[in-house]
Amino acid sequence: MGPLVESWRFWALLAAVFAAATAILAKVGVSGVGADAATFVRTAVVLLLAGAILAFTGQVQDLASLSGRSLLFLVLSGLATGASWLCYFRALSLGDAARVAPLDKLSVVLVALFGALLLGESLSPLAWTGVGLIAAGAMLVAYAG
């Protein structure tokens, strides 16, 4: 199992599994609760879990070694995450999880575009075709009857 846990593909697929569970569990959890309150509870749980992981793995001292630049971008990322979660829970409170989650996954398409435009990353033509198919699929699920 050593090489498997060192693979970015393994962790990305695991993230997808947890994201799917998140959508279903959140849809049930947001029923009868304000979307912002639901987001707060979820965020508190994530904060506690991340803190426990830092403590358990002995990485708490890593916080002191963050550069100003890293801290700035991590704070900005946290703000973007918070905004995303607030919007996501609002969408879940108003729509079907089976439609909300695929539309939310247009973030995959945006990451590919921003990665290419802002970070200089490159994808093959076949990979760009996949990105286009993700976009088309998300739009079909969200808007087709």
What's the pTM value of the predicted model, to 2 decimals?
A: 0.83
HEC secondary structure over the chain: CHHHHCCHHHHHHHHHHHHHHHHHHHHHHCCCCCHHHHHHHHHHHHHHHHHHHHHHHCCHHHHHHCCHHHHHHHHHHHHHHHHHHHHHHHHHHHCCHHHHHHHHCHHHHHHHHHHHHHHCCCCCHHHHHHHHHHHHHHHHHHHCC
Distances (CA, A) of 16 to 30, 69, 101: 21, 29, 11
Give, in degrees to the nearest 5, the angle at Cα 14 between 20 and 5: 175
Q: What is the pLDDT of residue 133?
A: 97
Q: What is the pLDDT of residue 131?
A: 97
Cα atoms in the Cβ-side hemisphere of radius 13 Å centred on 68 = 0
pLDDT exceeds cutoff 90 at 3: no
Greatest extent of the chain over all pairs of C-alpha atoms, in Å: 52
Q: What is the pLDDT of residue 2?
A: 78
**Chain segment 55-76, per-residue pLDDT in tens:** 999 999 899 999 999 999 999 9
Highest mean pLDDT among 94-98, 102-106, 109-113: 109-113
